[in-house]
C-alpha cells in the first residue's frame, strides 16, 4: 500500500510503501474453513474453542520432542497433516521467508472434530524475498535436513528420508510453477513493478539508507526471479 500524507489541499507527501495484511479473524477463518478446530497463533495464543484448554498443542509439542523412531513416525501420520506442512515448508523456502518458528510468525490449526491432525499457516512475511540473505551464488539455507531447533514439527518430520523426499519433490514442483520458464512470478512482478514504479522510486528515495544497510552489494532494483534462478542449484545441492 502506498501511503501519502496530505500536506495541504493540493499536494501529497509520500510516506513510503507498506504492507497491509488481513488478520486471521473469525471472518477469515470462516471463509477459509478454519473456524471449527483449534486455532493458535505462535503456539500459545488460542483464538478458537476457548472453552477448552491448550492441552492439545502442549501434547503436540511434547510428543514431537520426546518420541523417536517408529513411534514418532506413527505419531506424525496420525496427528500431523504431512502434505499440508510439507507444502507450507516448500512455499516458505521458495519465498525465502525464514523468519518463523513454532512460537513466532506462524499459526497452527488442528482439525479437532475431524482428522485431528495439525497443519501450519504462514504469518508476517515481511522477510519474504529477502535478498540480503543471499551471497550471490549459493542458497544459504540447507532446509530441511538441518532445521532450527525451535521448529519441532519440522525437526520430527525430516528425520525420515521419505518426508525429505516429499519435500524435495514439492519444492521442485513449486519452483517450476513460480520461477520456471514462464513462471507466474515473472508476469506478476513485472506488472506490479510497472504499475507501481513511481511509488517504488519514491519509497527508495525515502528509505534508501535502510535499503543500503540490508541489501549491501545488490545494486538498485533487481528482479527476484533472476536472482533465484541463479541460486536454485545451490538450494537443491544443499538438500541432497
The per-residue pLDDT for range 91-133, each reduced to its tens digit, is 888 777 778 889 999 999 999 999 999 999 999 887 776 554 4
Residues 6 or more apart in contact with residue 66 via CB below 8 angstroms: none
- pLDDT for position 206: 73
**DSSP-assigned beta bridge partners for residue 221:** none
Mean pLDDT value across residues 55-80: 97
* Alpha helices for the chain (secondary structure H): 26-32, 55-66, 69-79, 82-94, 152-157, 161-178, 184-195, 197-214, 224-239
- pLDDT for position 171: 85
Query: Dmax of the chain from CA atoms?
Result: 70
Say if residue 137's pLDDT is above 70: no
Lowest mean pLDDT among 28-42, 72-86, 99-113, 224-238: 224-238
Say if residue 147's pLDDT is above 70: no
pTM of the model: 0.77
The per-residue pLDDT for range 6-31, each reduced to its tens digit, is 655 556 777 777 777 788 999 999 99
Residues 6 or more apart in contact with residue 225 via CB below 8 angstroms: 179, 183, 185, 186, 189
Say if residue 240's pLDDT is above 80: no
- pLDDT for position 232: 54
C-alpha cell at 56: 492439545
Contact between 119 and 88 under an 8 Å Cβ cutoff? The reply is yes
Task: Report the C-alpha gap between 35 and 198 in whole angstroms.
Answer: 40
Q: What are phi and psi of 206, to 5 degrees?
A: -75, -45
Task: Report the C-alpha gap between 203 and 208 in whole angstroms.
Answer: 8
Contact between 56 and 111 under an 8 Å Cβ cutoff? The reply is no
C-alpha cell at 118: 495439525
Task: Report the C-alpha gap between 57 and 54 in whole angstroms.
Answer: 6
Amino acid at each position: 500500500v502506498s501511503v501519502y500524507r496530505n500536506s495541504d489541499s493540493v499536494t501529497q507527501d509520500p510516506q513510503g510503501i507498506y504492507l497491509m495484511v488481513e488478520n486471521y479473524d473469525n471472518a477469515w477463518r470462516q471463509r477459509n474453513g478454519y473456524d471449527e478446530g483449534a486455532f493458535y497463533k505462535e503456539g500459545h495464543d488460542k483464538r478458537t474453542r476457548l472453552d477448552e484448554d491448550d492441552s492439545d498443542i502442549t501434547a503436540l509439542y511434547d510428543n514431537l520432542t520426546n518420541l523417536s523412531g517408529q513411534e514418532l513416525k506413527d505419531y506424525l501420520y496420525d496427528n500431523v497433516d504431512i502434505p499440508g506442512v510439507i507444502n507450507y515448508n516448500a512455499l516458505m523456502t521458495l519465498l525465502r521467508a525464514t523468519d518463523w518458528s513454532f512460537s513466532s510468525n506462524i499459526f497452527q490449526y488442528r482439525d479437532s472434530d475431524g482428522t485431528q491432525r495439525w497443519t501450519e499457516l504462514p504469518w508476517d512475511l515481511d522477510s519474504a524475498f529477502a535478498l540480503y540473505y543471499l551471497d550471490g551464488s549459493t542458497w544459504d539455507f540447507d532446509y530441511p535436513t538441518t532445521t532450527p531447533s525451535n521448529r519441532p514439527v519440522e525437526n520430527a518430520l525430516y528425520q525420515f528420508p521419505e518426508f525429505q523426499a516429499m519435500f524435495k519433490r514439492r519444492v521442485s514442483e513449486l519452483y517450476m510453477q513460480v520461477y520456471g520458464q514462464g513462471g507466474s512470478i515473472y508476469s506478476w512482478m513485472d506488472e506490479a513493478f510497472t504499475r507501481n514504479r513511481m511509488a517504488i522510486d519514491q519509497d527508495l528515495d525515502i528509505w534508501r539508507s535502510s535499503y543500503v544497510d540490508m541489501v549491501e552489494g545488490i545494486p538498485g532494483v533487481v528482479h527476484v526471479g533472476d536472482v533465484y534462478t541463479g541460486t536454485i542449484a545451490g538450494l537443491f545441492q544443499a538438500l541432497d
